[in-house]
């Protein structure tokens, strides 16, 4: 999603196969993590090129189709777009930006009949936490989060489909994600105190064993 022309070709292939595009899911992302003093500007640029500009490329490649069909644009954000933890500044910055994009486009595209839905997942089963800061997947590594915290992808997908069908503005996926967003909105001082008291940090960058 960072190469000029790729998304335009994908959109053209979809039109050729199905005749029209009614739903677009803009889901581009990996996570750059670490304390700011250990990260270079290039790390932040790499993060934004995929997570923010990858989403924008998707929008630009399909916007005319969605206006023609009065369709649905789904933008995949994150709970990290509401709540930033220590060591997550690149990823959270990118997801805050994606949330702002979804909010703005929701207003812009409403007159054209296009519904914009922001999906903000918490911990959902994916390869994300096995990808390092350069975007390389370490498939041999295990999921670093406890299994009871991670929601199966199939369950998350059902939630997303329902939200899109109902033209919802935003849906937070996972119970713990909903709690985190609620507390950040209504009691940010409590969230800050908890992060500092328990020294909670973002996950560590995965590294090959």
Active site residues per annotation: 91
20 touches 65 (CB < 8 A):
yes
Residue owning tokens 């029209």: 20
72 touches 24 (CB < 8 A):
yes
| SS3 call for 18 | helix
Instruction: Report the C-alpha gap between 199 and 113 in whole angstroms.
Output: 45
Instruction: Report the C-alpha gap between 64 and 67 in whole angstroms.
Output: 5
Instruction: Report the C-alpha gap between 208 and 129 in whole angstroms.
Output: 13
> Which class for 196: exposed (0-12), middle (13-18), buried (19 or more C-beta within 10 A)?
exposed
CA 137 to each of CA 2, 54, 129: distance values in angstroms, whole numbers, following the listed order: 17, 18, 9
Instruction: Report the C-alpha gap between 161 and 132 in whole angstroms.
Output: 29
Spatial neighbors of 6 by CB under 8 A, at least 6 apart, are 57
């Amino acid at each position: 999603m960072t190469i000029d022309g790729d998304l335009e070709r994908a959109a053209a292939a979809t039109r050729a196969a199905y005749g029209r595009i009614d739903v677009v899911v803009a889901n581009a992302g990996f996570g750059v993590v670490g304390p700011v003093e250990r990260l270079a500007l290039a790390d932040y640029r790499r993060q934004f090129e995929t997570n923010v500009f990858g989403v924008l490329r998707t929008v630009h490649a399909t916007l005319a189709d969605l206006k023609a069909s009065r369709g649905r644009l789904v933008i995949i954000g994150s709970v990290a777009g509401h709540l930033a933890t220590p060591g997550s500044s690149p990823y959270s910055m990118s997801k805050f930006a994606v949330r702002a994009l979804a909010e703005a486009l929701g207003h812009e595209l409403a007159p054209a009949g296009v519904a914009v839905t922001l999906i903000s997942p918490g911990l959902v089963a994916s390869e994300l936490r096995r990808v390092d800061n350069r975007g390389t997947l370490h498939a041999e590594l295990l999921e670093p989060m406890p299994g009871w915290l991670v929601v199966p992808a199939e369950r998350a997908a059902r939630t997303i489909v329902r939200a899109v069908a109902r033209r919802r503005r935003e849906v937070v996926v996972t119970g713990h994600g909903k709690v985190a967003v609620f507390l950040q909105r209504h009691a940010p001082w409590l969230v800050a105190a908890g992060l500092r008291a328990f020294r909670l940090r973002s996950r560590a960058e995965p590294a090959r064993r």
